[in-house]
Amino acid sequence: MKSEPLVVERTYNAPSHLVWEALTDIAKIRQWTFDMDDFKPQVGFRFSFFGEDRGVNYHHLCEVKEVIPGKKLSYSWKYKGYEGDSLVIDTIGLNDRAFIDDYQTPHTEKLHVVERFRLTNGGKAMEANLHVEDEGAFTMPWDAIQRYKRVEPGVAERDIPVENDPTSAVGNPGPLQEVTCSETTVSYYGDMQPIPQADRPDF
């Protein structure tokens, strides 16, 4: 008989403000997740805690990167003595007016998304891990993973050309750039979901 860990998952029906308190109130954090000295949902606030896995006690070092009260908490995540950082984005309080993926999968306002981004292969690639919970749309939580490849002359050369893929970086290689979805030239939904435009300025 094998001795394997038993994993129990529970879904709690709770309003978003209680979920936010569980993520940001130090007393509730200690109750639900980690035993840490202090926590403040303020950009730049650094916090740490210890967590054990398979007999190894890891020292977690984190820093708050972005806060939208009641909706979004983003923080970096690394282990002391180990290389690499992760960016963790925990989002609640979303509306149901958008799709969850390129396949136009709907969701409800109960959607809770946790994203973890980390550089791999010496900074030449990035891995994005996605955890999704929405009891109004899905029968159970699910996870997804997406890997991105860096293409920059002299740093990370493109070795596998990608053709006929409008979502792939097939243009001229160069430094990593950050753009928002509304500025992209790629349309996933055609005219179905046009970018909102104002007929006149509101200021």
Share of the chain above pLDDT 90, in %: 18
- Residue 169 near residue 151, CB atoms below 8 Å: yes
- Residue 86 near residue 76, CB atoms below 8 Å: yes
Nearest to 167 by CA among 150, 146, 184: 184
Give the per-residue pLDDT at 1.
53
Give the per-residue pLDDT at 200.
76
pLDDT tens across 1-15, in order? 555 666 666 777 778
Q: Which of 27-41, 138-152, 157-171 has the lowest mean pLDDT?
A: 157-171
Share of the chain above pLDDT 70, in %: 68
When the pLDDT of each residue in the chain is averaged and rounded to a whole number, the result is 78
Inter-CA distances, 1 with 4, 5, Å = 9, 13
Give the per-residue pLDDT at 15.
83
Mean pLDDT of 17-43: 89
Give the per-residue pLDDT at 52.
77
The confidence band for 32, taking pLDDT boundaries of 50, 70 and 90, is confident
> Quick check: 195 pLDDT over 60?
no
Q: Cα(196)–Cα(190) distance, rounded to whole angstroms? A: 14
pTM of the complete model: 0.54
pLDDT tens across 127-160, in order? 899 999 999 999 999 999 988 877 776 776 666 5
pLDDT tens across 80-123, in order? 876 667 888 888 888 888 888 777 888 999 999 989 888 888 77
- Residue extents of the structural domains in the chain: 94-177
The confidence band for 51, taking pLDDT boundaries of 50, 70 and 90, is confident
| Sign, Cα dihedral of 7, 11, 12, 14 | positive
The conformational region for residue 181 under phi > 0 = left, psi -120 to 50 = alpha, else beta, is: alpha
